[in-house]
Amino acid sequence: MKFNQLIAPLVKGNAETVNYEGAKAYTLTPEMALYSAVVTTMLNDSYNEKADQRLARIQALVGKVDPVFVAKLAVYVREQMYLRSAPIVLLGELAKVHNGDGLVGKAVGRAVQRPDEITELLAYYQLANQRTGAKKLNRISKQMQKGLATAFNKFDEYQFAKYNRDTAVKLRDALFLVHPKAKDETQQALFDKIVNYTLNTPYTWETELSALGRLSFANEAEKQVAVRAKWEELINSGRLGYMATLRNLRNILEAGVSGAHVEKVCTLLADEKAVRNAKQLPFRFLSAYRELKGLSFGHVPMLLEALEDAVYASVANLRGFDYFTSVVVACDVSGSMHQPVSAGRGTARSKVQLYDIGLLLGMLLQAKCRNVLSGMFGDRWKTVTLPARQILANVDEFYRREGEVGYSTNGYLVIDDLIKRRHKASKVMIFTDTQLWDSHTANQSHTNTLSAKWMRYKTLFPDARLYLFDLAGYGNAPLRIEPNDVYLIAGWSDKVFDVLQAFEEGQTTLSAIEQIIL
């Protein structure tokens, strides 16, 4: 939650600029810059850009592109990239700059997928339109109202109750503001419950454990028995959702549930259909994996194996990587990549960094390849040979070797090494924040750049393709995108590989967005 708190054509003819390291770079078109900015942000501070700077840049870019593109992008990042704050901003800004047709209403009605996103969007709308204090939010645009009315008709009592929180804008406030028309008497009764604060308490792990916590026990042993029984009941019920299970693995083990119940948890975690439906960002699996690795319970190994199966399932359908496809996976481990992906302080601050995201996406890709050379670069480039299927373990193995290649961003060394060894690669994948430069040369030469090295490599192997996976979205690239078989892909989700697949089928970076029908 970021706001609802109680307190054109693609990239052709890129203009030259410099990146945050002072090295030569190329600007992106407004469409590409907006795409890159929103799919790589949780709206928290990054190494080179504060959260409010990123927000201001997104707001400015919205005004420079076609409103239809903004609407489709909002739907894309919610449905395909699983992000929540970024589409809220896009929808709120779209409502400020566009009216006169049904575009805003259609985009809002589709992109809002949880009840709390109704209140979150209204909170952002209030802030974006400076409707605070005496100028309290008491009306919204017709299309915003229409879209939110559509959203209200999506949810049942359980969903409303689960997300009925004591925030600045409450569901009750939203209902009065939006005035959604009930589909039938049952839904009207549900809306009345929202108004009268009489929604039934939902059956969730939070409410069940909260109720348990209000009981009195004779001693600690009796309480422990009750807690174990409650977790086993939750597991048996089938109503402990995938995300809740993933985030409570430590609690489940500490409760001392039986081996049979741990088996049920493992079955859920590794189920391919459950993985797809859960829409978890890959780093959630890494966070759970690291949390478990530090625990001394006998069932930890089977849970770690289930997590490996789960993250592998997220790229199960990736095509185009057979025995004849030679791939190079290069991961940026520079200092600027050591930035938490989500905000917070102390224990609430994410332990997963951009560094990890690059490694994780790289290892996901390696797991699907049959002919792959993997490595990391900083001051130097170093290849690292690791097993294909152990994705999460491989990330930690890379992490353990932090510092072996230094902390600069000499990405050109990856291509330089391939040239020297005459290594023929079909695809070269670089996972980076794109702030590449040459730390070995005082005056930035034009020869030691990714651009120059790639041009040289293409003379040796004309069919090779270079894919830059932009993990930070700073709005520039180290070389011209799309000429000379260079492609930019941005984001943290395994869905970035769908974009990769689109390239293989002759599409462009923004094709998936442009194909959305509203």
- What distance in Å separates the CA atoms of residue 513 and residue 511, rounded to the nearest whole number? 5
Q: Is there a contact between 370 and 348 (Cβ–Cβ < 8 Å)? A: no
**For residue 382, what are the β-bridge partners?**
376
189 shares its domain with 219: no
Please state the domain count of the chain.
3
404 shares its domain with 470: yes
Decide if 11 is inside a domain: no
Q: Which of 47-56, 153-162, 395-404 has the highest mean pLDDT?
A: 153-162
Instruction: Report which of 204, 316, 301 is spatially closest to residue 262, judged by C-alpha positions.
Output: 301
Helix (H, G, I), strand (E, B) or coil at 9: coil
Decide if 2 is inside a domain: no
Which of 237 and 386 is assigned the larger pLDDT?
A: 237
What lies within 8 Å, CB to CB, of 49 at 6+ separation is 57, 472, 474
- What distance in Å separates the CA atoms of residue 430 and residue 443, rounded to the nearest whole number? 24
CATH number for 382: 3.40.50.410
Decide if 200 is inside a domain: no
Query: Which of 313, 348, 372 is the C-terminal boundary of a domain?
Result: 313
Token pair of 55 as six digits: 């927000």
482 shares its domain with 338: yes
Decide if 38 is inside a domain: yes
Would you say residue 163 has pLDDT above 50? yes
Decide if 18 is inside a domain: no
Residue type, 143: Q
DSSP per-residue codes, 358-399: HHHHHHHHHHH-SSEEEEEESSSEEE----SS-HHHHHHHHH
Instruction: Report which of 205, 341, 368 is spatially closest to residue 282, judged by C-alpha positions.
Output: 341
367 shares its domain with 472: yes
pLDDT tens, residue by residue, 79-126: 888 888 889 999 999 999 998 899 999 999 999 999 999 999 999 998
What's residue 346's pLDDT?
Answer: 39
Which of 50 and 407 is assigned the larger pLDDT?
A: 407
Which of 138 and 397 is assigned the larger pLDDT?
A: 397
What's residue 92's pLDDT?
Answer: 94
Q: Is there a contact between 303 and 246 (Cβ–Cβ < 8 Å)? A: no
Token pair of 131 as six digits: 């409707």
- What distance in Å separates the CA atoms of residue 8 and residue 514, rounded to the nearest whole number? 11
Provide the H-helix boundaries in 10-84: 30-39, 51-62, 67-79
451 shares its domain with 487: yes
pLDDT band, residue 131 (cuts 50/70/90): confident
- Rounded percentage of the chain residues whose pLDDT exceeds 90: 39
Q: Is there a contact between 433 and 354 (Cβ–Cβ < 8 Å)? A: yes
Q: Is there a contact between 388 and 311 (Cβ–Cβ < 8 Å)? A: no
What's residue 204's pLDDT?
Answer: 87
239 shares its domain with 384: no
Average of per-residue pLDDT across 482-507: 74
249 shares its domain with 336: no
390 shares its domain with 496: yes
Token pair of 66 as six digits: 């076609």
Token pair of 84 as six digits: 């929540």
Query: Which of 313, 345, 379 is the C-terminal boundary of a domain?
Result: 313
Residue type, 443: N
Would you say residue 144 has pLDDT above 50? yes
Instruction: Report which of 311, 335, 327 is spatially closest to residue 408, judged by C-alpha positions.
Output: 335
496 shares its domain with 355: yes
Decide if 319 is inside a domain: no
- What distance in Å separates the CA atoms of residue 392 and residue 282, rounded to the nearest whole number? 10
pLDDT tens, residue by residue, 337-357: 776 665 444 333 456 777 777
Which of 33 and 305 is assigned the larger pLDDT?
A: 305
Token pair of 445 as six digits: 């030469």
Token pair of 39 as six digits: 């799919």
Instruction: Report which of 362, 472, 355, 330 is spatially closest to residue 19, judged by C-alpha positions.
Output: 472
Decide if 109 is inside a domain: yes
What's residue 310's pLDDT?
Answer: 92
Please state, as a whole number, how many other Cβ atoms lie within 10 Å of the Cβ of residue 151. 23
Query: Which of 313, 341, 358 is the C-terminal boundary of a domain?
Result: 313
- 500 is in which domain, residue-wise? 327-514
420 shares its domain with 357: yes
301 shares its domain with 338: no
pLDDT band, residue 11 (cuts 50/70/90): very low
What's residue 188's pLDDT?
Answer: 96
209 shares its domain with 180: no
- Rounded percentage of the chain residues whose pLDDT exceeds 70: 82
The half-sphere exposure of 447 on its side-chain side, counting CA atoms within 13 A, is: 2
Decide if 9 is inside a domain: no
